[in-house]
Structure 1
């Protein structure tokens, strides 16, 4: 990409262009041999028309329809929410042969990371023990246990903001920023004890309870988890027996799981004391597992975006797509989520499905989900957030066309609904909301052992068991919010660094993170996000 260019036409089929810098009214551009005069100030990341558009005309980006003009738009005019509304292309299953040429992998099949090998063949990039509540009534007990385990096992850090406040209380104008672990780590091969508090398990429908149980079972099955301690009250909808059934049948895992039901104990103290003793004994065994060299084909990469901007679909997302294609080409797995952000690119994904059954499953899930949203006066077309719109993503189809590039161009291996675990090598489509934390929660619950997360506006989102590598779509963000960004894909525009070179850099970073040699910003910030999707309307 030429950094001297001020605009970019993504596809030859497009009738709008993206401003790579702010463009002033009156500037001239030569496009396909024609001279275009800019008729409005065009903010960076926003779009301008390459031809005059009448009311009802279709606007095309990424080679697909992304909107319909609701006002006349001059050639060179700014595309806004005032003159464009969302429109998406129709789609249907067609019996087509998808032609795909695997990317050049440059010896990736010989590279390794240091991972934790599990009995079922999966490999973890971390080694966690998790505490799982079956119902929100147990959150307080988890809080008590969290304080005890983290402090005594060497995982608890001094709160730097407490130190700042202490300085102010003592009348000290010098406010220190210090971070220190309060005790030495007891178990060297355990990366942490994680606590998955939530607000579910009772009070909702039986379907809500089953969805939660499936998610918790998926977290226990995740290769980053060595085992779990399960806390239950006893009378809630989400019964421990349901979790046991899910672990044995739906998710097929035989990891060590300890169960404690409060209504079976005379006192809370009795239950927590027993939970501590049995968990500590289990941790001693888990600590015997050590990292071993592992081919990159054992990576299962979650693909996520949040706080997207007008550059996300140009730099960070396509870069993630290239990495996804390369990992899949050597036998790995990737998982593309956020179904509301696939609205408008359905036909492309359908054409890449391996057979009619998988394609029709994708169509059914998309239409059912959108239908649920419409019943309460919403819909996929209402997905873009105010931040998205401000930075150039003014329709859901524009956002989707850029978001879908995270999945690269590989054929679709499988379509999995929320509650199903990704098992097929290659690109998997997982139904989750577009909500950042609900989606990353789903990715980790249903198979990802590392997550790539693109952002243009900045978000501290992380995950409780899965390393999250934050990738900036522009080079301004890592300067402005340097403590949350791990990788700058904006260099594709700001420094003219090639996509191929950046993909190799990003894979090297993935290897360092997966091997435990490098901590992501989200991990350093202890951004242990976990929000189950209550299967209703969340975009």
Structure 2
């Protein structure tokens, strides 16, 4: 029989409803009868004791809020009777010992990747087009239309066919397209953005680092870069960022400045000729076996629900631990969603310097949010709250499970590139796409993205594997979900079993044998984080 409620940590004083509960019914839990006070939807939290105003509410073993009023045993926690609160953290308080997982099954496994001269290995082989400033977005879009039409033989958009049928008043059908892509070992991708000028200079510097990280990412074979000429993000600034991230970078990077080249037609003609020749050369690279230590997984969540922290996120945590034990790398981001678990993370840092950097970045981030008239307590979205995540600390405690239990080797600010194997923390906002964009810019060649409500997003150069926290959403939105972890709720699989299934799937994606749903839907989202204001 499926459990009706579950306690995540033995010290918790609240439980999670695994099914819809009706007022008046009695649930046997840990040897005691709990009478349900109010109708409670699955994923929401039930009080395991009576709380008075100011009493501490513990979940995942940490403080996640305080009672705003009396909450009776068996009643549901809501935004009306609970307020966000987290522990204050001032530094490292304890040493940390890690018990690494058994990797005997995986230590000799490989994936088929694209080997770069600097030792990195890509899970994709991408030629990337991007602008240094938003003024060049139109030219990027023109190049996208030209290259995709000639190099990528894509199926007709079914919505285009639908509209054509409506316009003509006759049902249209898709015209068969049996031709394959011109190149078999390389893909072309295009990104645009709204930065590079008009804001504070620090935002342009941050964007330069991010774009340099994309060029350095092992999934990229080379790049075509467009500049206007007068913008804040000068070509020299971008080149400096490239040299800083990899002084020995040996990839073709073609850069064009419109104000030096005259007409748009002249510039685009030169770009097309040069880029085509470089793409043709990059197509010669083929996939070869690589150890799993060459994987760098980005850990992301979006549209989280009350099950995310007990199914999908802990599954990612075990996968993260396995990758780290195999000498690979994992990156945990979204600093607003680490609020409340800072003490555990600081204690897991291998040295005090990283712990201090983490706290400094967290405090600076939170101050900027407060200065803007908000706070981390405003992080849970309406969808989060509706599905049981009623405080930021509660959401954070579940989100942090993606990072597993391994020691933290390094702490990175947005735009900094990973340099140490093992678990890294990356300062990003909680915004799904801004955070995913940052993970890839820091070197992730695979992104694992958990969702409980359904988030349709992807990345132009790195596969994004979408993981559902529950079966219902996976059945409802099968076009965006790659893996679902609802079997954990039903007791059909353990977290460890689910994690091993997931790592098998990761190897298939990394080897190009399986395409993610995000790739099939051509979801290529790219939104850099802007910390400043427009000037």
Common topology (TM > 0.5): yes
| Correspondences of 1:81-96 after superposition (within 5 Å) | 81-94=79-92, 96=94
* CA distance in 1 between partners of 2:458 and 2:172 (Å): 28
Structure 1 residues 301-331: Cα deviation after superposition (integer angstroms, max 9, x where no partner): 0000000000000000000000010011011
Alpha-carbon shift at residue 210 of structure 1 (Å):
0.5
Structure 1 residues 140-174: Cα deviation after superposition (integer angstroms, max 9, x where no partner): 101111111111112543222111112223323x5
* CA distance in 2 between partners of 1:476 and 1:495 (Å): 15
Task: Return the match for 1:153 from 145, 151, 154.
Answer: 151
- When the two structures are superposed, what TM-score results if normalisation uses the length of structure 1? 0.97
- The answer to whether the 8 Å contact 2:4/2:27 transfers is no
- When the two structures are superposed, what TM-score results if normalisation uses the length of structure 2? 0.97
Partner of 1:248: 243
Partner of 2:209: 214
The answer as to 2:430 corresponding to 1:434 is yes
* CA distance in 1 between partners of 2:177 and 2:234 (Å): 37
* CA distance in 1 between partners of 2:319 and 2:3 (Å): 26
Partner of 2:123: 125
The answer as to 2:486 corresponding to 1:486 is no
Task: Return the match for 1:101 from 86, 99, 102.
Answer: 99
Partner of 1:372: 368
Alpha-carbon shift at residue 286 of structure 1 (Å):
0.5
* CA distance in 2 between partners of 1:143 and 1:128 (Å): 17
| Correspondences of 1:313-328 after superposition (within 5 Å) | 313-328=309-324
| Correspondences of 1:461-480 after superposition (within 5 Å) | 461-480=457-476
Partner of 2:346: 350
Partner of 1:452: 448
- The answer to whether the 8 Å contact 2:135/2:228 transfers is yes
Task: Return the match for 1:513 from 509, 519, 523.
Answer: 509
The answer as to 2:37 corresponding to 1:39 is yes
Alpha-carbon shift at residue 179 of structure 1 (Å):
8.6
- The answer to whether the 8 Å contact 1:303/1:407 transfers is yes
- The answer to whether the 8 Å contact 1:47/1:78 transfers is yes
* CA distance in 1 between partners of 2:344 and 2:141 (Å): 46
The answer as to 2:106 corresponding to 1:111 is no
* CA distance in 2 between partners of 1:312 and 1:463 (Å): 22
Which region of structure 1 is more displaced relative to structure 2, 415-424 or 161-170? 161-170
1:109 counterpart SS class = coil
Task: Return the match for 2:531 from 511, 528, 535.
Answer: 535
- The answer to whether the 8 Å contact 2:123/2:446 transfers is yes
Structure 1 residues 285-307: Cα deviation after superposition (integer angstroms, max 9, x where no partner): 10111100111110000000000
Structure 1 residues 83-134: Cα deviation after superposition (integer angstroms, max 9, x where no partner): 0000001212235320110011242111111000011111000000001101
- The answer to whether the 8 Å contact 1:248/1:254 transfers is no
Which region of structure 1 is more displaced relative to structure 2, 511-520 or 154-163? 154-163
Task: Return the match for 2:2 from 1, 4, 10.
Answer: 4
Partner of 1:205: 200
Partner of 1:189: 185
* CA distance in 2 between partners of 1:87 and 1:12 (Å): 20
Which region of structure 1 is more displaced relative to structure 2, 276-285 or 337-346? 276-285
- The answer to whether the 8 Å contact 1:152/1:183 transfers is no
Partner of 2:519: 523
- The answer to whether the 8 Å contact 1:475/1:494 transfers is no
Alpha-carbon shift at residue 266 of structure 1 (Å):
2.2
* CA distance in 1 between partners of 2:27 and 2:57 (Å): 19
* CA distance in 2 between partners of 1:535 and 1:492 (Å): 39
Structure 1 residues 329-375: Cα deviation after superposition (integer angstroms, max 9, x where no partner): 01110000000000000000000001110100000000000010001
- The answer to whether the 8 Å contact 1:109/1:297 transfers is no
Alpha-carbon shift at residue 465 of structure 1 (Å):
0.7
* CA distance in 2 between partners of 1:503 and 1:31 (Å): 28
Alpha-carbon shift at residue 30 of structure 1 (Å):
3.1
2:327 counterpart SS class = coil
* CA distance in 2 between partners of 1:89 and 1:95 (Å): 13
* CA distance in 2 between partners of 1:336 and 1:329 (Å): 16
1:500 counterpart SS class = helix
CA 1:181/1:245 → structure 2, altered by over 3 Å: closer, same or farther?
A: farther
Unaligned runs of 5+ in 1: none
- The answer to whether the 8 Å contact 1:304/1:336 transfers is yes
Unaligned runs of 5+ in 2: none
* CA distance in 2 between partners of 1:536 and 1:80 (Å): 34
* CA distance in 1 between partners of 2:175 and 2:124 (Å): 22
Which region of structure 1 is more displaced relative to structure 2, 502-511 or 449-458? 502-511
Aligned residues: 532
Which region of structure 1 is more displaced relative to structure 2, 13-22 or 265-274? 265-274
Alpha-carbon shift at residue 408 of structure 1 (Å):
0.3
Partner of 1:412: 408
2:471 counterpart SS class = coil
Partner of 1:359: 355
* CA distance in 2 between partners of 1:414 and 1:351 (Å): 13
Structure 1 residues 215-242: Cα deviation after superposition (integer angstroms, max 9, x where no partner): 1101000000000001010000001111
- The answer to whether the 8 Å contact 2:54/2:67 transfers is yes
* CA distance in 1 between partners of 2:484 and 2:92 (Å): 39
Alpha-carbon shift at residue 469 of structure 1 (Å):
0.4
Alpha-carbon shift at residue 181 of structure 1 (Å):
5.5
CA 1:462/1:179 → structure 2, altered by over 3 Å: closer, same or farther?
A: farther
Partner of 1:71: 69
Partner of 1:30: 28
| Correspondences of 1:231-270 after superposition (within 5 Å) | 231-252=226-247, 253-270=249-266
CA 1:349/1:164 → structure 2, altered by over 3 Å: closer, same or farther?
A: same
